[in-house]
């Protein structure tokens, strides 16, 4: 059991630098200080929260490499869309110029 994760599962807004302090003197981790306005959790409660946190994991952000791959894919799609729009505008502009000159595209 990881105490920090169990506590953060139950109290996601708890700040470990202000609200609680964990220690490990070699015989396992324990809550050294508990400054939240709720009763200090029992070992049984901590175990229950730990098990729940493992069964219902919180959102994990994508790895930086996965995020970058997604961003590159979006960029490629946008670039392709812009190139298509540019082609359409170029053709329309060419047709307008030819029309003004009184010529037609063959």
pLDDT in tens, the chain (106 residues): 899 999 999 999 999 989 999 999 988 899 999 999 999 999 999 999 999 999 887 766 667 787 788 889 999 999 999 999 999 999 999 999 999 988 866 5
- Indicate whether 51 and 65 sit together in one domain: no
This prediction's pTM = 0.54
pLDDT for res 93: 93
Residues 104 and 75 in one domain: yes
Q: Are residues 48 and 69 in the same domain?
A: no
Sign (positive or negative) of CA dihedral 11, 12, 13, 16 = positive
Cβ-contact 101, 94 below 8 angstroms: no
9 plus 41 within the same structural domain: yes
Return the pLDDT at 61.
64
Q: What is the pLDDT of residue 71?
A: 87
Residue 46 neighbours by CB distance under 10 Å? 22
**Distance in angstroms (rounded) separating the CA atoms of residues 67 and 55:** 25
Cβ(9)–Cβ(47) under 8 Å? no
> What pLDDT shows up at residue 59?
63
Same domain? For 32 and 67 the reply is no
> In total, how many domains does the chain have?
2
Query: What's the confidence (pLDDT) of residue 60?
Result: 66
For residue 83, give its domain range.
61-106
Same domain assignment for residues 46 and 67: no
44/81 same-domain check: no
CA distances from 91 to 9, 22, 97 (A): 59, 68, 10
Give the per-residue pLDDT at 64. 79
């Amino acid at each position: 059991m990881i105490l920090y994760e169990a506590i953060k599962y139950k109290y996601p807004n708890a700040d470990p630098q202000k609200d609680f302090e964990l220690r490990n003197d070699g015989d396992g981790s324990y809550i050294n200080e508990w400054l939240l306005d709720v009763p200090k959790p029992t070992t049984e409660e901590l175990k229950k929260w730990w098990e729940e946190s493992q069964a219902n994991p919180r959102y994990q952000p994508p790895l930086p490499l996965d995020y970058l791959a997604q961003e590159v894919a979006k960029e490629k799609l946008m670039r392709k869309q812009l190139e298509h729009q540019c082609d359409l505008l170029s053709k329309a502009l060419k047709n307008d110029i030819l029309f003004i000159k009184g010529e037609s595209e063959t």
